Structures are given as structure tokens and as C-alpha cells.
Amino acid sequence: MRVPCPVPRNRFHAPPDYRDHRKHAPDLLPEELLDEANAALLSSGQFQEPDIKSRCVTLSTFRQGTEPADRAFVHATLQILDGRDQAVRKQLGELVVNAISEMVRPGAAGQTVQVTVNVVEMERATFSKQIIGG
Amino acid sequence: MRVPCPVPRNRFHAPPDYRDHRKHAPDLLPEELLDEANAALLSSGQFQEPDIKSRCVTLSTFRQGTEPADRAFVHATLQILDGRDQAVRKQLGELVVNAISEMVRPGAAGQTVQVTVNVVEMERATFSKQIIGG
Amino acid sequence: MRVPCPVPRNRFHAPPDYRDHRKHAPDLLPEELLDEANAALLSSGQFQEPDIKSRCVTLSTFRQGTEPADRAFVHATLQILDGRDQAVRKQLGELVVNAISEMVRPGAAGQTVQVTVNVVEMERATFSKQIIGG
């Protein structure tokens, strides 16, 4: 799962380090967001625990629309091996969007935050995996 | 839309901060590139203004081919909800590749810059979206 | 090809710069990993040399599963234009997973590193490309 985050303000130009993040979304720690998302996905019973790998990419350069409005977004991509039916895929996406939405707070009064989740199937027949060490 | 950028030289090892970028592509500001791309996409009439979300990821580690030639690339992924026909998808990709290409300049004499755009459909039936605040 | 890397420890919170990376995976240079992957892909005969573009994104925020175990992952996405059959796609993914796996070493005794490669086809009919300079 890839989660470009965390919820920066729309015209936020400062470097994307932790301190800057804290100023604008003091209640959100990216690590905690991933913890919640991983726990939600594990609860679905669809995945083995070590296979749930998530990452959060803080965006340093982004734009939303063309207006100078103060708004923000968190977009997650949930990549799963193919073979699950559409109802299950939809349910998995909702688990993630709910986990994120419960943790996200607007960075300022009046700010709107879009939280979106795109579910993408990975082709199992051509997927490769190797385990090193252990 | 994801746009790994901006146009670094092929063997550029310095940290990817703004100052380093300016040395190699002084005419390109990533923010302006996203502004142009968003404006082009809005002009298509296919999207609501607040839904056009773009990000630019400056690459710190990359390789092009296997030769030490001085060349660079900007690769954009345009993620749109499914349901638009192939001609519209092609047209949207061209809007983006044109917007980027008009702003990109080689970082040095003789340098070649590849600008590519991949149009990806997101499955509408399993896409999740929530609005926080506002 | 996108390769989120390099093999950070599961609970690694320090900034993702080169020095920190070296502490945890001293034998792995991201640039060398990309060199090996590009060489493997060129050897397949499926691609023109300048078209093999790879990038490595060091993850600053990530989680694997829900347990505090010391483990790590490298996940690569191989994006190729469509039209190659499944056997060729599978073979290309294996070239990449082998190139990465040969260079990855666990960061500590007992650490397990998952190396995975997802092969994704890009729609050729709507793909856009422009060459600047040269």
C-alpha cells in the first residue's frame, strides 16, 4: 500500500520533514496512520501478517486544482494480488479509507481534506517474490 | 497525477533539494510544472477543479539505460477513473506531455530529455473517497 | 521501473539519507542496484538502451505487518508497454527480482528481507512520449 501523505496544506512549500509536518497536522503521525491501516487490512483475513507492507510518502511538491484554496489530500493505492472479487476489493478499500479518515484532521479551520483509495490488482501469474535471510 | 521530476542529469548524485535542482534546470520550477499540468487537465472539461491532484517527486537515485551519456527524463502517470474512451484518454495524456515538454529544457548542451506520460485507469467500482472538514 | 528501497529496518525512523542507509545495509548502494537491474533488463533484448529508466525511492515512513519483528522489504514495479505475452512478462520480472536479490543482504542477523516485483503493463495506445533537446 502506498500512501502519499501526510495532509499538507495546499500551498505548503517548506521542506517535508517531521517538524514541518507537525505544525500543520499535529495530531497525525505517519507511522500511526500506517499502523492503523495495516491493522485494518489484517483484520480482513485476506492477508498474511508479514505480507502487509505499507509506506507513506510525504509530498514536497504538489498542487490541488488551480485555485489558491486551502485544501489538502491523502491518496492511498492499495496493491493486492489479483483473484479477489469486486465486493472484496471494495471492502478492502473502505477499510483503508476509514482507517485514514479517522486519523486525519484538517490543518486549519475551513480546510477540506480529500481522502481517496485506489485499489489496484497485481498480476499474480507474473509476480515474483524471493525471501532473503531469516 | 504523479510526475517524478525534475529533469535531473543522468549521473546527478547531489541531494535533490531546490538549490541543486536550480543549478541543472534553472528554468524549471516543479510547482510551475504542476500548475501548467493542472490547468491543461482542467481545460479538458473532464474533471472537477478540486479533484485534479498532482505531485512531483524529485528523484534522488535513478539510472537511465546502461551508458554514461548525459540524458534525463520526466515520467508522468495520469491516474483517472475508468469509463473514458481511448481517444479521450489519449488526448488527456497529450495535454500533459505537452504541458511538461513546453517547460522542460535540457540541463546542458547536447542533453536529451525524454518526457513520457502513462495513462492509467482507476477502477471506479472499488474506488473510495471521503471528505474531511470543510 | 520503480524500486522503493533500500532495505530499511522495519522500525527505522531516522532520516533516509545516504549515511543512514549505509549503517543498515552497508553492502548495498542504490545506484549499483539500479545498474544491475538495468543491465539485466537490457540483456533481455526487449528494450532499447535509453528507454530503460529506473528510480529508487528510499522509504522514510513504512510498516511491515503489525508485529515489531525486525524485517524489511524491497518492492519493485516494472512498468512495460503492453503487447508482450505472459511468459515474457514473467521472465522480465524474474530478471529484476534476481538482480535485486543478489545484491540485498539482511541488515542484521535473523532479519528477513522480502524482495518482490510487480509487472505492470502500460497502455501503448494512449502512451505519450516527446524528446526534448539532443
For the stretch B81-115, pLDDT in tens is: 999 999 999 999 999 999 999 888 777 778 888 99
Q: Which three cell numbers stand for residue A125?
A: 501469474
Does the distance separating the beta carbons of C51 and B86 come in below 8 Å? no
Contact C120, A124 (CB under 8 A): no
Q: Is C85 exposed, middle or buried (0-12, 13-18, 19+ CB in 10 A)?
A: exposed
Task: Confirm whether B132 is domain-assigned.
Answer: no
- Is A45 an 8 Å CB contact of chain C? no
- Of A56-70, A116-130, B41-55, which gets the smallest average pLDDT? A56-70
Task: Confirm whether B57 is domain-assigned.
Answer: yes
Q: Based on the structure, what is the number of domains in chain A? A: 1
- Is C110 an 8 Å CB contact of chain A? yes
| The model's pTM | 0.83
Contact C2, B77 (CB under 8 A): no
Note the ipTM here. 0.82
- Chains A, C: CB contacts within 8 A come to 115
CATH number, position C102: 3.30.429.10
Task: Confirm whether C131 is domain-assigned.
Answer: no
Task: Confirm whether C132 is domain-assigned.
Answer: no
Task: Confirm whether B31 is domain-assigned.
Answer: yes
Residues contacting residue A44 through CB under 8 Å, at least 6 positions apart: A91, A92, A95
Residue B31 has what pLDDT?
85
Task: Confirm whether A131 is domain-assigned.
Answer: no
Q: Does the pLDDT of residue C111 top 80, yes or no?
A: yes
Task: Confirm whether B134 is domain-assigned.
Answer: no
Q: Which domain holds residue A9?
A: 2-126
- Is C125 an 8 Å CB contact of chain B? yes
Does the distance separating the beta carbons of C117 and A133 come in below 8 Å? no
Neighbours of chain C (3+ CB pairs under 8 A): A, B
CB-CB neighbors (< 8 A) of C101 in chain A: 130, 132
Greater confidence (C46 vs A70) lies with C46
Neighbours of chain B (3+ CB pairs under 8 A): A, C
- Is C36 an 8 Å CB contact of chain B? no
CB-CB neighbors (< 8 A) of A57 in chain B: 57
Residues contacting residue A127 through CB under 8 Å, at least 6 positions apart: A81, C93, C116, C117, C118, C119
Does the distance separating the beta carbons of A94 and B128 come in below 8 Å? yes
Greater confidence (B72 vs C26) lies with B72
CA-CA distance, A15 to A57, in Å (whole number)? 13
CB-CB neighbors (< 8 A) of A54 in chain C: 62-64
Residue of chain C nearest B113, judged by CA positions: C132
Distances (CA, A) of B70 to B31, B65, B76, B104, C41: 25, 11, 21, 15, 20
Neighbours of chain A (3+ CB pairs under 8 A): B, C
Greater confidence (B57 vs A6) lies with B57
Best to test chain A binding among C118, C119, C122 (most A CBs inside 10 Å): C118
Greater confidence (B25 vs C18) lies with B25
Percent with pLDDT over 90 in chain C:
50
Task: Confirm whether C79 is domain-assigned.
Answer: yes
Does the distance separating the beta carbons of B115 and C127 come in below 8 Å? no
CB-CB neighbors (< 8 A) of A51 in chain C: 65, 114
Does the distance separating the beta carbons of A94 and B134 come in below 8 Å? no
Does the distance separating the beta carbons of A114 and B127 come in below 8 Å? no
- Is A19 an 8 Å CB contact of chain C? no
